[in-house]
Chain A
Amino acid sequence: KAGVTQTPRYLIKTRGQQVTLSCSPISGHRSVSWYQQTPGQGLQFLFEYFSETQRNKGNFPGRFSGRQFSNSRSEMNVSTLELGDSALYLCASSRRDRGLVPFFGPGTRLTVL
């Protein structure tokens, strides 16, 4: 069974640009969550999607958005990038009937210059 895949793996952008990250969940998983991870901050929850609907949202500004497609694949978008957005962005998929226990992808390393 293939794991969670994320593309791209690495990305370099400049301030003010926007970026779109993609995530394909494990087959059969309909819940997709996104996290931001920076040194010293741990995993910060961005949002969770289930059946194309946002079910939970963390405390991030509106520049961070996401969506989920009918095949459960998900994208997140960050507009007007800031230097502080440099981080590892992790996508995780899960089955809600298994206690929301997530399986993570390898992450996208975003660097904002």
Chain B
Amino acid sequence: KNQVEQSPQSLIILEGKNCTLQCNYTVSPFSNLRWYKQDTGRGPVSLTIMTFSENTKSNGRYTATLDADTKQSSLHITASQLSDSASYICVVSGWAGNNRKLIWGLGTSLAVNP
């Protein structure tokens, strides 16, 4: 069964600290993996997209890693800011028969406190 699991479910950190969010998936065959940031009451905004051959991709203070062998991805946030408070969602693109499918994780809710 195609699944995407994220951990932790929620996280509270102090401003300026680093944190790492995890995403494990069982989607096969795999096409790509994307991390989204979603502010409360708004639509998700894409942070990074990674294909099978990519190990690391950065977007400012956000760095995503992908291990296609273990089917794990992480999102590392450096020097957190209050504006990083949001839900971070991992989504994996795969195939179900002849149809391309997106399998969504439930997200990690991050709170950055002053």
Contact = CB atoms under 8 A, between A and B. Distances in A.
A pairs with B: yes
B107 A104 contact: no
A64 interface: no
B102 A45 contact: yes
Interface stretch (A14-22, A65-73, A74-82, A95-103): A95-103
Interface residues of A, number: 22
Interface string A78-113: 000000000010101000100111111111010000
A104 B43 contact: yes
Contact of A101 (B41, B43, B49, B107): B49
Contact of B93 (A56, A99, A106): A99
Q: Is the interface of B mostly helix, strand, loop or mixed?
A: strand
B56 interface: no
A56 B49 CA distance: 23
Contacts of B34: 101
Contact of A103 (B46, B93, B99, B100): B46
Contacts of A92: 43
B41 A109 contact: yes
Contact of B102 (A40, A102, A103, A106): A102
A69 B81 CA distance: 42
A100 B113 CA distance: 35
A43 interface: yes
Interface of B: 31-32, 34, 36, 41-46, 49, 89, 93, 99-102, 104-107
Interface of A: 4, 40-43, 45, 55-56, 88, 90, 92, 96, 99-107, 109
